[in-house]
Structure 1
Amino acid sequence: MTTPTRFRPAPVIDETARLLIEHYVFPETAEQLTDLLQRRLAEGAYDVDSAEELGRLVTEDLQSVNGDRHLRLKYHAAPVPPEQGAATLTAMRRDFDISLGGAPRVELLDGGVAVVELAPALFPLEWAAEPLSAALTLASRARALIVDLRANQGGDPDTVAFVCSYLLDERTHLNTMHWRDGERREQSWSLPHVPGARFGGSKPLYVLSSGITFSGAEELTYNLQQLGRAVVVGERTGGGAHPREGWTVHPHLEATIPLGRPVNPVSGTNWEGTGVQPDIPCAAADSLDRAHELALARLAG
């Protein structure tokens, strides 16, 4: 009878530590985390029998220093493709195909108030431009608009800018990304032109949020709130601002490591760790009704 091979955590920890040193947006924190992982490995804390358990333990340790929720050793039940970022794209494509391209709901409520739900993610723009343009163009004639991000867990910054472009009148500075080297910066702006029709920058706009709303969906929420364009209704969001990349470190484990730090041109900061605070706090389950009431009252006024 063949004895099962025991799971070996050391190669996974070594590779994760190397990636942290090379890529994490905060180099000093990367050194602290590397020391922590190696110490925990030496202590036997990672002597476990499965990749799933190792992923859970390492993720807890990675997030223990500065609470960065994008910093993870993510377990995948199916084998992870070896190419950088492939695991995330594979999962996103599956979700894209079953969610009408990330716009699963467009509805007209009483009083000419439209609802556009964007979920479960803001997919890469080369995939999502057509379905998002269709949904937002359809809603453009509404008297007021509610954008439902309660089940949206993030996505592509270019897609964030694309959606913002339908909700503003003019080309607008949305964000500046500060990358790890401290010198390279990249600005994000809304688009001067969009396919289809804009809802525009003057009619009432509400964004629904929840504790699940995360990452790119938080950027969309935060951008519109800081510009004074939208009223955010619901719960405080998850608090993950740093864009990340994924590397396969084991057939079932992906190290996800943030590479940059966004800075909003209005607030001079971002939502990392704090989440986006709603303008009208309420339970996420009640936020659609609350936003509809607010929209009707504003239109009546």
Structure 2
Amino acid sequence: MKRILLALSWALVPCLATAADLDNSVMTADHQHEVIEQAAEVIQARYVDPELGRKVALALRQQASIDAFKPYREPEAFAQALTVELRKLSGDGHFRINYSAQPVPPPDAKTVDQYEEDDDSWAGPAINYGFESVRRLDSDIGYLDLRVFAPPRVAADLLQSAMTLLAQSKVLIIDLRNNGGGDSGMDMLMAAYLLDRPAEMSAIYDRPSNRLTRATSPVWVPGRRFGGTKPVYVLISHKTFSAAEAFTYDLQAMHRVTVVGEASGGGAHPYERRRLTDHFLIKLPEMRSINPITGTDWQGVGVKPDVPTPPELALDKALELAHATLAKEAGPGEKPMH
């Protein structure tokens, strides 16, 4: 991993404080310039789109030259302002600058994912690992409201329980309208419950290594599968992002699900967390998703619904479609239960 630390000499520049001396309540112009320069350097070197990365880095340096971030003296406010600017310059919602009150250790080439966030901080017990609601609605319609794709290592057992309960349903509605993404392993595991056999999912191209890694849904899943033939409706909104979009996009491309709602947020660039200074990290989109069927992804445009519907009406619309499907499948003289 490329070292991205700014080399400063105390002997040569005794008057210049480094980020290690950062007062938790205020930032100087020098502190801001250091963070911005390190961000510009790593973006230019590693951002998934090289040409756009160069443009973003240049724009950041121009902003620093006129002290555009001078009003944001509090570290959290500065991190937020820089995040907003990066997203505006790139159109990439995966960019984020994080401030840490505790010193961030230098990178260690022997340690993998040393800057990964603690699972509980974003997908833990406080939100039930993303499982907001699991229930059966009328006419044997299963419903899953999932708010985040937690890593399988902490939530695979919950997914097993949820899908085992829902497997007997005749139709399944998966509500991702408030799902901002998460772990790609969970989206592939959940996809496997809706398929009868393994299927190729979106591959990941990594710009720094120039490698393409293909992905296939798991061969085996614990518990019961819903299976690959019964109707599935996926509800999305503009809040639906990242891994939630990957799940939806891949299954839509296979014609396995019907997508109801509005276009999603458009985040198809997985990121890595990189150290900038002693107190700042960047979530840097270094990869892109490539679907094996479409040959492209949903970056910037979002997943397009099969049935465009205002998101607040998407569940009602999916229920209407489900009831119509069940009525069509009912034999002569039979009526689906309501």
Q: Spell out, residue by residue over 1:105-152, the C-alpha distance to the aligned partner (whole angstroms, 9 max, x if none).
A: 111000000101111x10112112111111111101101000111111
C-alpha separation between the residues in 2 aligned to 1:223 and 1:79? 39
> Partner residue of 2:133?
105
Output the TM-score relative to the length of structure 2.
0.81
Name the SS of the counterpart of 1:134 in structure 2.
Answer: helix
Q: Spell out, residue by residue over 1:148-194, the C-alpha distance to the aligned partner (whole angstroms, 9 max, x if none).
A: 11111011111111000000111101111111047411111111111
Q: How does 1:166-205 map to 2 (within 5 A)?
A: 166-181=193-208, 183-205=210-232
Name the SS of the counterpart of 2:90 in structure 1.
Answer: coil
> Partner residue of 1:39?
62
> Partner residue of 1:18?
41
C-alpha separation between the residues in 2 aligned to 1:221 and 1:197? 21
Name the SS of the counterpart of 2:88 in structure 1.
Answer: coil
CA drift at 1:92: 4.6
Name the SS of the counterpart of 1:99 in structure 2.
Answer: helix
Larger Rg: 2
Q: How many residues align?
A: 297
Name the SS of the counterpart of 2:149 in structure 1.
Answer: coil
C-alpha separation between the residues in 2 aligned to 1:69 and 1:156? 16
Q: Select the structure with the greater relative contact order (CA < 8 A; seq sep ≥ 6).
A: 1
Assess if the C-alpha contact under 8 Å between 1:100 and 1:131 holds in 2.
no
- Which sits farther off after the overlay, 5-14 or 147-156? 5-14
C-alpha separation between the residues in 2 aligned to 1:286 and 1:251? 47
Unaligned runs of 5+ in 2: 1-22, 108-112, 329-338
Q: How does 1:73-88 map to 2 (within 5 A)?
A: 73-74=97-98, 82=105
Output the TM-score relative to the length of structure 1.
0.90
Residue 130 in structure 1 maps to residue 157 in structure 2:
yes
The match for 1:245 among 254, 272, 281 is: 272
Name the SS of the counterpart of 1:237 in structure 2.
Answer: coil
Assess if the C-alpha contact under 8 Å between 1:80 and 1:254 holds in 2.
no
CA drift at 1:74: 4.0
C-alpha separation between the residues in 1 aligned to 2:304 and 2:220? 30
C-alpha separation between the residues in 2 aligned to 1:37 and 1:140? 51
Q: How does 1:197-276 map to 2 (within 5 A)?
A: 197-249=224-276, 253-276=280-303
Opposite residue 60 of structure 2, the aligned amino acid is L
C-alpha separation between the residues in 1 aligned to 2:98 and 2:217? 32
> Partner residue of 2:88?
64
Assess if the C-alpha contact under 8 Å between 2:208 and 2:286 holds in 1.
no
- Aligned CA RMSD, in angstroms, stands at 2.3
Unaligned runs of 5+ in 1: none
C-alpha separation between the residues in 2 aligned to 1:138 and 1:23? 44
C-alpha separation between the residues in 1 aligned to 2:88 and 2:121? 31
CA drift at 1:19: 2.1
CA drift at 1:247: 2.8
Name the SS of the counterpart of 1:273 in structure 2.
Answer: coil
